[in-house]
Each structure stands twice: as structure tokens, then as C-alpha cells.
Structure 1
């Protein structure tokens, strides 16, 4: 748990060992951290200096940060000298074929192809040491409280998150909830989080709290069965104990009468759950009716169904009157109401906005900002980050209506902002998207929400994929699509094209029982491309959700720094890859002189069952890249404008927005901005 907290918060829980002299170890710790791009705060070094178990404690700290940036693995490229001496593709294939008497036509049958021919130590000997640079990343680790205090603090932070958590954070919250059952978690605004906490209470036979819809009970049953609390994926419900069945049915009985219409959305799941709960064995009539509705033995029109009937009848005003009873749904239907000519939409939004969550208000603002004209293509991503594309056939919205509704929503957000005497925004976060959902990103280090832009310098941009198979032989292929300023396809780099001018591939590794890594280098002064879109293609084997480990990351360095292919101190970001598609699009890059601009995508394409290659996805890649760069997001820059409209107050605190906590504290991180916009 100490390692988890360090990786999650960059706070190091205090050692619980006896006092002692750890001064020498503290100095060694500081040096070891610098090699992987980290630095211990003064308070942390003082704490290590005064502990008797300083050696073991320091090893744990270093191990945690290595895992954070992906440095725990041995990253050994196929071509030992990479990026030097990368051969021509055909020349390399002929060399591999020359080792066999008869070629079957399959490269994977060749003994030399896809299997690293040198040891990790031999690879290291072929590279000079990294020359340190002021441009190298340095991330500060801070001293936290006791381990028990940090566990509690992290539990409360996750439970109180106003935005849905990502998969890794949901799993962590579930683990922490079992350790903190007796701790009141206060307000839990996100329904998935309530279900996770209630699942822990259900198993421990504690009273359930916060279940005010039938779907809340379904989420709880899914989580308690080890299934998907978001209800995106079907859950195989377990057999519940009698006391658990009674608790679930009692909770369902309390809320069912006013929520029967919600049953239709997950009708099949309700039918499966009914087989496990045996509702007719208990005296809960309303709960029994829920399963009758699911089996279509009782007919109930849902709230959403009433809205659809009104639109189908061409009565947008009736639809508006119905939606007025559900403020959140009304805001989500604003585009449709305006398109269908509903009257007084602005007034309805003004009445509903105070009762709507901050993340819905932000999503409405972002949506309206992109409705001035039709998009070249509409790019959708579900909560699992799988992408699909459609033509944009919607007519543009009336600019006057958009401006009026936007003003109402912005006024409500300004009202919710905290009072401040001065606003300080770190320049590096101005183009970061204000996070409204943890499902639009991945777990990792330096990872930002989808649409966020980052800027960094360096003669060389290097990105990498690392994976480790679990059971089956698994072949992931790192590739890069090269596009010009008009997003036209100008070539690629992959196992089928090892190098182009200014772009170099480290070689194809086709199995990973102990882990495998592939790299691509981009040299700014020689690259003939404006945009570069990295892809990770599953050629064969286990999917991103099935492998033991998978990650994507990128680093930058100057040409004269040299160093081995993977240098932890140059890693700018390291992102996990967990998704249902067969092709991952983690990020895209834009070259501007000697600088690089990255835009986070966090998307997955369906792909094919095997044999995915970058050449197959070139048209989709162009559309996604163009859509990502042209879309207007709700960023910290826009949030700063809203702060300016609110105006400062002399006796209020300073608000400082940055990527991470400063040495002196007092920084609102980007991850915490969702709290700021919630009521």
C-alpha cells in the first residue's frame, strides 16, 4: 500500500520504524532518485535521515517511482545499436531468410526474426552514458503522513471524487473501502463510488446508504459480484447469502415505486439478478414489481420514453416540459431541443442549471462550442474508450440560441467558483482539459485527459510500447502514421518499413514471456511530417485487457545526450493501455520547429482479430487526428477566463493551478479541478 500511495499521490508515507541515523542512506536515496528523474523534498530527506530502517525504506521509494515511469523492466530493443544502424527493411528480411535452407513465406518461422539476438547487458555496452541536461524531467516527492493517515486520506479523496473514476481507481477504492468501513466518507456524489462502498458494507452486513434509484441497487449487485459497476459489460451475478438478498431487496423496495421506468435500460441484467435474489421469497412487493417489469409482465413507460414520444409527435415544447422535471437530462438534450424549435429553452436551462452537476454543465459548454458548423466527421468514444466515426449530418445550431444558453451555463459555473484574491496558473496547464471523467484517460505518470495538449523541447522524440504476455504468445507492434499539414498520409514507420528520413524503428519483437519493448525515434531536423500518430497494433495473442502488463510512453532528449534507449529521467509520460479494441491510439504529436506538441487521445479502434497493421487504419487515423486537433475543449485557459469574470476578493486565499503540488503546497492540481466546479 505504501508503494501504491507513492505512485498515486507522489507523497511518501512516513516510516514507522525506530529512530536512527540514516544520513548516508538519505544522500544515496537523493542520488538514486535523480537517475530516474525524481527528487526528494527537504522534509522527506530529513525524515529518511532520522530512521533506523532507512535502507529498506529508501529501496521501497525507488522501486515505486521506477514502476511509475516504467523503469522496472529491462527495455531491450531488437536492434542493439538503435537508433543507430537501423537497416533497410528488405535488406534485413533477406538477412533473416539467409539463415534458413528453405523459406516458408512466413517471417515468424525464421529463427532470427522477432527474437532479440543479444543480452540486455550487451545492449547497454553498445551505448554511452546519458549526458544530463537541464531539460530533463525532475519530479518532486513529498513527505506524507503516517501510512494509516495516507490510506485514509486517499480513501476519502477517491470516495468524494465528483467525477467518475477510471478502472484502476475504482479497484483501489474498493480495496480501501474494506479497510475503512467504520470511517464515514461524507458526501459521495458519484453513483459508481456509492455502489463500491455499499458493496463493502453488504459483504460486512452493514447498513446500505445512498441507494435512491433502482439502478443504484443493480450497480451494487454488480460490484459485489466482481462485475462491472458502470454496467457497460454484462455481469455474472454470484449467489448471495440470505442476509445479502434481504438487504438488496429491501433497498430496492424503498426506491422502486417512483423508478420503475428505469428498469428497461438494463432489463436483461435485472432478469439475471432476479434468478439470484429469489424476490418472491421475501415480503417486498415493490421489489417484486421491478423484476415483473423486466420480464414484461408489467408495462411501464420510462421517463426517457415519454420524451421520445413527444419528439416523435413533433411536440418539442412538450418534450421540454417533461424534461424540466429532470434538470440533468434537460441539459443533455439542449442541442436536440434547439434543433427542433422548442420555445424558451434559455429560460428552462436557467431554471435547471443550479441543480445540475458541474461536469454536465462543462460538457454542455464544450458541446455547444463545437456546433458552429458541421464537423468533417463525428468521432465518438464510449466509456471504454473504443472509437467509432460517423458523418456529421446535423444542421448547425442557431448562433443566437447557442450564445444565450452558453451565457447562462457560464454564469452558473462562475457562481460556483471559489472566492480568490489572486489567480496563479502555471503556463504548462493552460491547454490541459479540465477533467470531467476518469474514464477519458489512463492510469500512469504524466497522463492528461483526452484532448489535453502539452509542449516540450528536444531534438529527438522517442516513444515506446512495453508488454508482457500472460499465457499465449503475444505480438504487439509499435507503428507511427506520418501526416502532412493537410492531414494527408505521407508514409509510416513500423515492422514493414523500418526507417524513413528522420524516423527510425527499433525492430519487431514477436513474443514477450519476460516482457518486450519497441521504440520509434523521430528526429526533428530531418522529419518530413507535420503530424505523427503513434499506434500500438495487436498482431496476435492477448488483448490489452488480458496481458500481464502493457504500457505506452514517450521521452525527449537532445541529440548530443546519447544514452541507452530507455532513460527514466527523460520520460515525459507513461500510460497504461487497457481497452477492448485491437489498435491503441494513445496520443498524437505535432512538430513546430524544434518543439513538439502532444495531444492526448486515449482511443482504441476495433481492428481485426489478428494481423493488425498501420496501413489498414490510415484513413481512420487521418480523420481522428484532424478531429482531435480541431475540436474545442473546456481547458484550464477557459476556466481562467471564468475566474476573471468572477473577480477577486481581497480577503480570500490565492488560487494556484498547476500539474502537481509545489514544495510549499497550496496548489490546486488539474486532477482536483472537478471539485472546484461542483456545488
Structure 2
């Protein structure tokens, strides 16, 4: 468990906690200083480095303690960057030596004709006029060992632009774990899949220790409640849906309630805890029975496991399942609001929604569109003004982003992305919201957000973080290294852009295909790089691997200066086999290199981004690269999964869908860190843009992509790893 906890701290904070050597650990050779320097050198090959204070601290420890730290740290950072697996390439000397596509295919056919076992089948296919590449013995499988590929490449030439991620000193492991638990559990925005899994580990470890003052995100609360239940503590329940989520967590189901959970048979202890929780919630606030209708079927299935009729001591719990079965009426707030709107009573609907500030703000656009008089608009806006102090910061900022996009003319396409990362677009045929109403509402939202933001004495801002989108949902990003929330923009400085993907199948033959679509400024197709087009003016593809029992990698090299068009869309298509959520492992990333740099196809210190591929579709679009007006390139983060076809997905087949999605996505404005910095600057003593030089001597509030060395220990540091801390509660 200790190694996993250390790994969690390093991944989430880029700090290395202080370790003590367990009893019985063999001492390593040499003193701490020697092992610490060796660790620093090993880390640099993976693109990481020890901060000077951390190197000094480790140097003063025993060799055994530093050796233990080194093993756990190296394992963690190599996984972070994707260097924990062997990245082979189909063409041994990639990016050199990649043949013309048709020449390569014909070579595979000739080799098959020379193979007595394959000749007859290939001749039959040739007589029919179509050859299946997958039946050719030399196609789709590595023709050389990993060690042979390594021997074919020169050492990487170091370049000033290589990534170097600094690791900083942390406190004692127990302190770091507790702080991380409190930060994740108390977040104001939902966690992604990996974040929820990490929180579950931490919650079990910290169940008996300090707890956050509030757990505002219900999915997080469900994970914490499960740990509390296992530890014999009372779960934190204040809605019937909290109890449902806890039941899903105990059954290893979906605590977000997006997917149905198959409830397991529950022991008496668990049944009693859930029934008692339901009974207490309803007894305290009978109106909360109305929440049952939103998840009626799930409550029915839960009732089959809890047998509430056998427990007369909890009569209010039985009422929950009576509502679920339709035996008792409990009109929801939504149904009562719809009734008012059906009667054209906009003011009455706004009054009802005032009891639920989040629902009011999520409905405010619709209410304003339905207003027919200025009196109605004033009433809706007045209700929003009164509700603003009671709404969550995430809701306020989400509506603020929505308003920024409502200033556009109708007729354009709207893009929607669900919690699973699946996108779709529709034509925007909504009537406009009057500009005066938009401006008044935006002023209310900004004023309330500004009131909740901290008042730093000195605000130090790295300009590189200003275009990072606010993480209003943990579902809008993916786990990994250098990953930014959906909608973020980041510059791309380099001559060679190399994409990579890796996957390892679990049970079935699985074929993933890395591709890159090249588009012009109007999102029209110019060309692509894939297994069907190995070479283009812009670059080369490393070759098609069609089976991955031991893992497989594919690469694409692009020369940015030579790239035609204005948009580059990397994508991972599932041609056959297991989905992204079924394989043992799969991830995507990109590297940046100078033209003279050599090295292996995969060099960890040139990796700028690596993200896990865990989505429901069959086509992954992690990000898109766009050329700016100055000729430079920047990345815009997508984190979406197209549904695709059950099999044989190819870049050629999804061009129209991708173009439509990207056009709608490009037209959408995302709220970024810049917005909060502008609001916070009004309350800060001084605001300074950091130029990368020495940092101030005293404590500051620092916002940036990475923590700089030398910050005062009392400084507040916000980086992409804890960017959600910037979202006010």
C-alpha cells in the first residue's frame, strides 16, 4: 500500500514525500548523496529532475531510504510519461526507411506468394481482384525484436527544448496522503474516472483521520461514504440520491448514475445502513421524496435487494420505494416548474426555482427566452440575483461561459459533450437573449465570483496558464502527463511533431490505428497519414500493427513547417477488437523534437503530453493542432470519443463527422484562467506576470503550468494538477 500511496502523491502533486525505511529493508550500497545523484540522472532520461532542495534533502538521508524512494519514484514517473512499456515500431528504422504504401503492400503480397502455406489463399484472392492485407503473413506483425529496433537507432541528442518536469520536496508520507485526500474529497468539481479511483484508495486509508469540512460533489461523497461504511462510521447522507449512489459504490457500479448498476446481494449490515439512511433523510425532509422520480428504475432495483417491507422500524424508507413503484405521488420540482411554464407563468416558475439555485441558473436562459414582457425579464433576473450567493461556484462559472457563447448569432451549430466524452452537434435555432439581460446577468455572476475569490497580497501569474480552460468538470479531461482541460489552448514549439499510441489487448485480437487528418481553414480535407497513406509531404506513419498480446505502438511524424493546411487532427481508430475501456491499457501522446535530434521512436524526455484512452466510443480525438495567424501552431484540447462503427473504423470514413465537430468546437468560447485572474486582480494587492526569472522572496499566490523553484514555502501554488482549487465553492 505504501508504494501506491507514494505514487498517488507524486502523480497528483509532483512532490516526493519523505520516506522511512521499513524494518528489514536491506541497505543499499553507498551513501544517500550518491544514490540521490543517481536518481536525478535516471529521472532526467525520462524528462524529470529533482528540485535543488529535494536533492539536498535526499542527500542527507540513508542510502537505503533514498534507494526505496528512487525505485518508487522512477516507476511512477515512467508510467506517467508512458515509458513503462516497450515501444517498438513496425518499420525498424522509423522515421527513416518508410516505403511508399503501394510498394509496401505489393512487397507483402510477393512474400506471401513465396510462402508455401499462404500462396494458394493469396492466389485465390488475386483471382477475385481483392487481397485482404490481414491474411498476409508479413503484414501487421513486428518483423524484428525490440532490442533489434533499439540497436538500429542512435542516441537521442539533447536539445534545449526537451521537457523537464521538476519534482519538489514533500512532507512526511502520512501528511501528504492526508492533504491529498482532503483536496480530492473536498473538490468543487467532479473527478474523472482515475480521480475517483484514487479517491477511493485514499478514503479507505484516511477513514479514521481528518475529514473535509464539506464534500460538495455527490460522486466524491459516495466514494467517501463507502469507505466510512466499511470503517464502521456513519455515512454522510442528506438526499435519497446519496443513498442510491452509496449502494452503487458498494456494488462496484457507477456512482455518477449515468449507467445502470447491477446491485449485488447485500449483507444485513449494509441493508440496515442504507434503509436507516433513507428513513432519516425522508423523516427530516419529506419533500426530498420528489428526487426519487429522477432515478425511479434504479430505486426499484435497489428495493428488490433491501426488502424494506421487512423492516417496519424504518417506515419512511418504505415511502421511497412506494414512490419508485408509482404507488405514491411525489411531484418533482421539475414537473411543477413545467406545469407553470405550460400556463405561460414565467414569474411563477422562477419563484419555484428559487428554492434550487443550481436549477434556476441552469434554466435561466430558457426563462429569459420565454419572457414576453420586461416585467417578466426583470423578475427572472431579480430571482437570479437573489439566488447567486447560494449557487455553487461551478454553476456560476458554467452559466458565465454559456452567456459568452449566447452573444453569437443564431444559425450556427452548437456542440454538446456528455459526461463520457461523446460529442454531437445541432443547429442553434434558439431565439436570442436580449443583450441588456445578458449583460445584467453576467455582471451578477462576475460580482458573486469575485466576492468568493481569494484576496492575495501578491499574485504571480505565468502567462502560459492564461489560456487554460477552467476545469468545470473532471470529465472534461483525461489522466496523464501534461494534459489540460477540454477547450484549453497551449502553444506548440518544435520542428517535428510525433504522435504515438500504445495499446495492449486483454483477451481478443485488437487492432488500433493511429491516424492524422489534415484540413484547411474551412475544415475541408487535404489529406491524411495512416496505414493506408504511409507517406505524405508532411511526414510518415510508422506502419500498421494489427495484434497486441504483448502491447503495440504506432507513430506519426509531422514536419510542422511543411504542413499543408491549417488544422491537424490526430485520432485513434479501433479497427477491430476490444474498446478503449476493455483493453488492459491504452494511451495517446505527442512528442516535440528539433530537426537534428535522432533517438528511438519513443523518447520519454521529448514527450509533452500523454493521456489515457478510456472512453465509450470507437474513435478517440484527444486534441487538435491549429495554425495561428502568425504561422505558429497551438494545441486545442478535445478529449472526445466518436461512436464510430463496431469495426473497420478508418480516418477516411469519419472525415465529415470530424470536420463538423471541429467547426462547432472552434466557434465555442471556453472560460479560461484569464477570466479568474482578471477578477482576482481587482482584489489582489499586486499582480505580476512571471517572465520565468527569479521569483519574489516573500510568499505569493502563483498560477502557472509548473511550480517554479525557489518559491517561498508559504506560497499558494496552483498548477494544472490542482487547478480545480481555483474554482470557488
Query: Which category of TM-score, normalised to the shorter sequence, fits these structures?
Result: over 0.9
Q: CA deviation at 1:356?
A: 0.6
Query: Is the contact between residue 14 and residue 47 of structure 1 (CA under 8 Å) also seen in structure 2?
Result: no
Structure 2 CA distance for partners of 1:437 and 1:300, relative to 1, 3 Å: same
Structure 2 CA distance for partners of 1:594 and 1:369, relative to 1, 3 Å: closer
Which residue does 1:252 correspond to in 2? 278
Matched pairs, number: 677
Query: Is the contact between residue 541 and residue 557 of structure 2 (CA under 8 Å) also seen in structure 1?
Result: yes
Query: Is the contact between residue 455 and residue 680 of structure 2 (CA under 8 Å) also seen in structure 1?
Result: no
Q: Please, what TM-score do these two structures have when normalized by structure 2?
A: 0.90
Which residue does 2:694 correspond to in 1? none
The within-5 A match list for 1:193-208 is 193-208=220-235
The within-5 A match list for 1:559-598 is 559-592=595-628, 595-598=632-635
The within-5 A match list for 1:156-175 is 156-175=182-201
Which residue does 1:321 correspond to in 2? 351
Looking at structure 2, the residues matched to 59 and 176 of structure 1 have their Cα atoms a distance apart, in angstroms, of 21
Looking at structure 1, the residues matched to 11 and 135 of structure 2 have their Cα atoms a distance apart, in angstroms, of 41
Whether 1:232 and 2:243 are equivalent positions in the alignment is no
Cα deviations by residue, 1:610-642 (Å, 9 ceiling, x for unpaired) = 111111111111122222222111101111221
Which residue does 2:63 correspond to in 1? 52
Whether 1:625 and 2:634 are equivalent positions in the alignment is no
2:394 corresponds to which of 350, 359, 362: 359
- Matched position secondary structure for 1:144: strand
Looking at structure 1, the residues matched to 7 and 435 of structure 2 have their Cα atoms a distance apart, in angstroms, of 52
Whether 1:467 and 2:503 are equivalent positions in the alignment is yes
Structure 2 CA distance for partners of 1:591 and 1:563, relative to 1, 3 Å: farther
Looking at structure 2, the residues matched to 509 and 376 of structure 1 have their Cα atoms a distance apart, in angstroms, of 40
1:140 corresponds to which of 166, 172, 185: 166
Query: Is the contact between residue 479 and residue 534 of structure 1 (CA under 8 Å) also seen in structure 2?
Result: yes
Q: CA deviation at 1:461?
A: 0.6
Cα deviations by residue, 1:31-58 (Å, 9 ceiling, x for unpaired) = 1111111111123222332223133432
- Matched position secondary structure for 2:610: strand
Structure 2 CA distance for partners of 1:484 and 1:552, relative to 1, 3 Å: same
Looking at structure 2, the residues matched to 32 and 647 of structure 1 have their Cα atoms a distance apart, in angstroms, of 41
- Matched position secondary structure for 2:557: strand
The within-5 A match list for 1:279-678 is 279-282=308-311, 283-341=313-371, 342-344=376-378, 345-372=380-407, 373-374=409-410, 376-592=412-628, 595-646=632-683, 648=685, 654-665=700-711, 666=715, 667-678=717-728
Cα deviations by residue, 1:319-343 (Å, 9 ceiling, x for unpaired) = 1111111111101111101111143
Which residue does 1:119 correspond to in 2? 145
Query: Is the contact between residue 394 and residue 727 of structure 2 (CA under 8 Å) also seen in structure 1?
Result: yes
1:70 corresponds to which of 82, 85, 92: 82
Query: Is the contact between residue 459 and residue 524 of structure 1 (CA under 8 Å) also seen in structure 2?
Result: yes
Query: Is the contact between residue 470 and residue 672 of structure 2 (CA under 8 Å) also seen in structure 1?
Result: yes
1:183 corresponds to which of 179, 185, 209: 209
Q: CA deviation at 1:375?
A: 6.0
Q: CA deviation at 1:255?
A: 1.8
- Matched position secondary structure for 2:611: strand
- Matched position secondary structure for 1:536: strand
Query: Is the contact between residue 419 and residue 653 of structure 1 (CA under 8 Å) also seen in structure 2?
Result: no
Q: CA deviation at 1:608?
A: 0.9
Looking at structure 2, the residues matched to 292 and 70 of structure 1 have their Cα atoms a distance apart, in angstroms, of 51
Which residue does 2:116 correspond to in 1? none
- Matched position secondary structure for 2:352: helix
Structure 2 CA distance for partners of 1:596 and 1:127, relative to 1, 3 Å: farther
Q: CA deviation at 1:84?
A: 1.5
Cα deviations by residue, 1:123-182 (Å, 9 ceiling, x for unpaired) = 122222111111111110112122222222221111111111111111111122112111
Query: Is the contact between residue 346 and residue 408 of structure 1 (CA under 8 Å) also seen in structure 2?
Result: no
1:24 corresponds to which of 34, 37, 49: 34
Looking at structure 2, the residues matched to 356 and 655 of structure 1 have their Cα atoms a distance apart, in angstroms, of 26
Looking at structure 1, the residues matched to 524 and 610 of structure 2 have their Cα atoms a distance apart, in angstroms, of 28
Structure 2 CA distance for partners of 1:124 and 1:260, relative to 1, 3 Å: same
Structure 2 CA distance for partners of 1:255 and 1:306, relative to 1, 3 Å: same
Q: CA deviation at 1:456?
A: 2.5
Structure 2 CA distance for partners of 1:420 and 1:260, relative to 1, 3 Å: same
Range that drifts further, 57-66 or 265-274? 57-66
Query: Is the contact between residue 477 and residue 538 of structure 1 (CA under 8 Å) also seen in structure 2?
Result: yes
Looking at structure 1, the residues matched to 217 and 627 of structure 2 have their Cα atoms a distance apart, in angstroms, of 39
Whether 1:99 and 2:111 are equivalent positions in the alignment is yes
Looking at structure 1, the residues matched to 553 and 528 of structure 2 have their Cα atoms a distance apart, in angstroms, of 19
Looking at structure 2, the residues matched to 153 and 124 of structure 1 have their Cα atoms a distance apart, in angstroms, of 42
Q: CA deviation at 1:649?
A: 7.4
Range that drifts further, 175-184 or 546-555? 175-184
Query: Is the contact between residue 504 and residue 549 of structure 2 (CA under 8 Å) also seen in structure 1?
Result: yes
Query: Is the contact between residue 456 and residue 683 of structure 2 (CA under 8 Å) also seen in structure 1?
Result: no
Query: Is the contact between residue 533 and residue 625 of structure 1 (CA under 8 Å) also seen in structure 2?
Result: no
Looking at structure 1, the residues matched to 493 and 660 of structure 2 have their Cα atoms a distance apart, in angstroms, of 27
- Matched position secondary structure for 1:499: coil
Q: CA deviation at 1:228?
A: 0.7
Looking at structure 1, the residues matched to 646 and 545 of structure 2 have their Cα atoms a distance apart, in angstroms, of 19
Looking at structure 2, the residues matched to 67 and 502 of structure 1 have their Cα atoms a distance apart, in angstroms, of 30
Query: Is the contact between residue 137 and residue 569 of structure 1 (CA under 8 Å) also seen in structure 2?
Result: yes
Q: CA deviation at 1:405?
A: 0.5
Query: Is the contact between residue 320 and residue 330 of structure 1 (CA under 8 Å) also seen in structure 2?
Result: yes
Whether 1:15 and 2:52 are equivalent positions in the alignment is no
Looking at structure 2, the residues matched to 374 and 443 of structure 1 have their Cα atoms a distance apart, in angstroms, of 36
Range that drifts further, 116-125 or 222-231? 116-125
Q: CA RMSD in A?
A: 1.8
Range that drifts further, 280-289 or 575-584? 280-289
- Matched position secondary structure for 2:263: coil
Looking at structure 2, the residues matched to 532 and 396 of structure 1 have their Cα atoms a distance apart, in angstroms, of 33
Cα deviations by residue, 1:439-487 (Å, 9 ceiling, x for unpaired) = 1111101111000011131111111111111111110001111110121
Q: CA deviation at 1:506?
A: 0.8
Looking at structure 1, the residues matched to 668 and 682 of structure 2 have their Cα atoms a distance apart, in angstroms, of 24
Range that drifts further, 625-634 or 70-79? 625-634
Cα deviations by residue, 1:285-341 (Å, 9 ceiling, x for unpaired) = 221011011111112211111112222232222211111111111011111011111
- Matched position secondary structure for 1:343: helix
Looking at structure 2, the residues matched to 410 and 627 of structure 1 have their Cα atoms a distance apart, in angstroms, of 26
